[in-house]
């Protein structure tokens, strides 16, 4: 069982929390904490070795924590996700393979694409695929998207190279539930054609960023980032190939962190307890 806590910091929090859990016969098998001194905020993630006797635990913890504390108890760590795609396969393929071998930490409910390019690979992995062409009215497209999403239970929407900008009205329905992989080291080279932008600037690093989606394009809280060296000898095609590899790795890392309840969001940034 996983317990995550976010609250105002004060002396004795770790002792109080661990003491209460010991009193209730919960054995702590993993514990990570962080204090943001500037914001006076305390973050903690714990794993305990049993799931019974958890009734009332959230309320008991809130009673010993500062007012306004956020406590979440997750006895079933596996999440449910819906994946949105366009044409590029690399991130989706990695997710489908991990899902097939039960190493994703989540189950893929379905895949939705605004092109049908990736329908066959989903069929091969026995994952439902919905083709929703994004032609014409954007509001109508997003309504169809909502209708399809509404057929399933889910915890997160994963944009695995989904090359459509979602409206404020759509995004606002899913606060900190949409995860995107961006093909650059944000905030550099946001928007379209990042590798061409990088090539034209003669960059010495190529990066990828996984982040939560908010109203501001490519400005949501960052979950994970990674960079690799680049030099003048690389053509745009070389950068694209390397970029796809790093995008796949960064998205996989971000999803694992989120699915393991290791990411806390505040002030448009994250604390990641690894």
Give catalytic residue positions: 218
CA distance 165 to 162: 9
Mapped onto helix, strand or coil, the DSSP state of residue 269 is: strand
Residue 257 CA to residue 2 CA, distance in Å, equals: 13
What span, in angstroms and rounded, lies between the C-alpha atoms of 91 and 218? 18
Instruction: Give the CA distances from residue 200 to residues 110, 218, 245, in Å, rounded to whole numbers and listed in that order.
Output: 38, 21, 21
CA-wise closest residue to 212 among 173, 269, 148: 269
CA-to-CA dists, residue 94 to 204, 244, 255, angstroms: 27, 11, 12
Per the document, the length of the chain is 274
DSSP secondary structure code for residue 27 in this structure: P
Gap between the Cα atoms of 182 and 209, Å rounded: 5
Buried b (16+ CB within 10 A) or exposed e, 220-239: bbbbbbbeeebeeebeeeeb
Structure-token match 């317990």, residue found: 3
User: What is the C-alpha to C-alpha distance for residues 21 and 23, in angstroms, rounded to an integer?
Assistant: 5
Say if residues 67 and 143 touch (Cβ distance below 8 Å): no
Phi, psi of 61 (to 5 degrees): -65, -45
């Amino acid at each position: 069982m996983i317990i995550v806590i976010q609250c105002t910091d004060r002396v004795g929090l770790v002792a109080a929390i661990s003491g209460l859990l010991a009193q209730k016969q919960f054995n702590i098998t993993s514990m990570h904490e962080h204090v943001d001194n500037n914001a006076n905020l305390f973050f903690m993630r714990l794993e305990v070795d049993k799931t019974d006797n958890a009734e009332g635990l959230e309320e008991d913890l809130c009673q010993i924590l500062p007012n306004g504390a956020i406590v979440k108890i997750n006895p079933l760590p596996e999440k449910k996700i819906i994946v949105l795609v366009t044409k590029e396969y690399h991130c989706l393929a990695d997710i489908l393979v991990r899902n097939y071998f039960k190493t994703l930490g989540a189950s893929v409910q379905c895949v939705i694409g605004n092109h049908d390019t990736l329908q066959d690979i989903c069929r091969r992995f026995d994952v439902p695929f919905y083709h929703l062409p994004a032609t014409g009215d954007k509001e109508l497209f997003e309504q169809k998207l909502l209708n399809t999403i509404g057929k399933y239970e889910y915890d997160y929407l994963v944009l695995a190279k989904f090359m459509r900008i979602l409206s404020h009205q759509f995004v606002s329905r899913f606060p900190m539930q949409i995860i995107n992989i961006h093909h650059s080291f944000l905030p550099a080279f946001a928007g379209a054609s990042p590798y061409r932008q990088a090539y034209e600037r003669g960059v010495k690093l190529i990066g990828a960023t996984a982040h939560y989606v908010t109203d501001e394009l490519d400005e949501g809280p960052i979950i994970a980032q990674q960079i690799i060296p680049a030099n003048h000898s690389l053509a745009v095609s070389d950068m694209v190939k390397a970029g796809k590899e790093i995008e796949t790795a960064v998205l996989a890392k971000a999803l694992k962190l989120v699915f393991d309840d290791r990411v806390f969001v505040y002030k448009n940034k994250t604390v990641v307890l690894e």
